[in-house]
Structure formats: C-alpha cells, structure tokens
Amino acid sequence: MVVVQTSKTTIGQSSTPTVAYFSSRGPSSLGPDILKLDISAPGINILAAWPPKTPPALLPIDRRFVNWNFQSGTSMSCPHVFGVVALLKSAHPDWSPAAIKSALMTTADTKDTSHDNILAGGSMKLADICYTT
C-alpha cells in the first residue's frame, strides 16, 4: 500500500503543469526534421514500481532496497497517456486513432505555469477528455 500526503499547500500558486527542462518545446532550431510534441503528460517525480534488488540511488554504496521510487522522464509520462487513451477507447470503441488523438489535443491545456505558449498540443486534461462526445 502506498500513501502519498501533501505536507504544505500554498494558496494562489500552482505547482503544475510545468514543462520539464529536458522536454521538447516544439520544432527544433537544429532543423525542421525534428518534430514538435502533440501532447504532454506528467513525467517528473512520478512514484513508480522499482526493481526490488536495485538500490534507489543507483550507487554502489547505497545498500537500501525499495519496491517504489520516484522517477522522471518520458518513461514515466507514456503510461499516463496510454491510460487516458485506454479510457477513451473503452468509452468510445468506434473511435479511430485519429479521433482519439484529436480528443487529446483539442481538450489540452496549452499553457504551462509560466504562461508561455510552449506546448504544441498541450497538457492532457482527463476531466475534459472524458466528457468529449
């Protein structure tokens, strides 16, 4: 069992969504062959399953063993997108992949907490997607 509790709440400030420094921001200045992203999902400090015989710090001196660890990256955000796609497909079995992609992109939040328009498709909003008909 995992219990996650917040330790502090700040009124008037939002901690998410924020695009990670390592995330793509759209077409690259290196060349037009590097594409933009269409959707973003949570991928920073995600509590995930961890190999039980692997120390969380990945250092030889770390002798701890855990079943869960906080991880960041696209490997953490992909399951979020897949889960939302699975929910959409179960609610709308006749939708094509293009229709599902459209639902994801047209209901997304296109600004991060800095209010910069840096996301091409935006951050998924599950509540809005679920009510898409």
In a 3-state reduction of DSSP, which class is residue 129?
Answer: helix
Q: How many CA atoms lie within 13 A of 38 on its CB side?
A: 10
| Region for residue 95 given its phi and psi (left: phi exceeds 0; alpha: psi -120 to 50; beta: otherwise) | beta
Long-range contacts, 47-56 (Cβ 8 Å, 24+): 47/2, 47/4, 48/76
Which one-letter amino acid corresponds to residue 105? M
pTM: 0.66
> At 70, is the pLDDT very low, low, confident or very high (cuts 50, 70, 90)?
very high
Model confidence at 112, in pLDDT bands (50, 70, 90)? low
Looking at per-residue pLDDT, the higher value among 6 and 80 belongs to 80
Burial state string for 55-93 with b = 16 or more CB within 10 A and e = fewer than 16:
beeeeeeeeeeeeebebeeeebbeebbeebbeebeeeee
Q: What is the mean pLDDT of the chain?
A: 76
Instruction: Output the pLDDT for position 97.
Output: 95
Looking at the predicted structure, is the pLDDT value of residue 103 above 80?
Answer: yes
Q: What is the pLDDT of residues 46-57, one digit of tens each?
A: 999 999 888 988
Cα angle, residue 16 at apex, residues 6 and 66 outer, rounded to 5°: 50
pLDDT band at 69 (very low <50, low <70, confident <90, very high): very high
Nearby residues of 37 by Cβ (< 8 Å), 6 or more positions away: 23, 24, 26, 119, 120, 121
pLDDT at 72 over 80: yes
Domain positions in the chain? 46-130
CA atoms within 13 A on the CB side of 124: 24
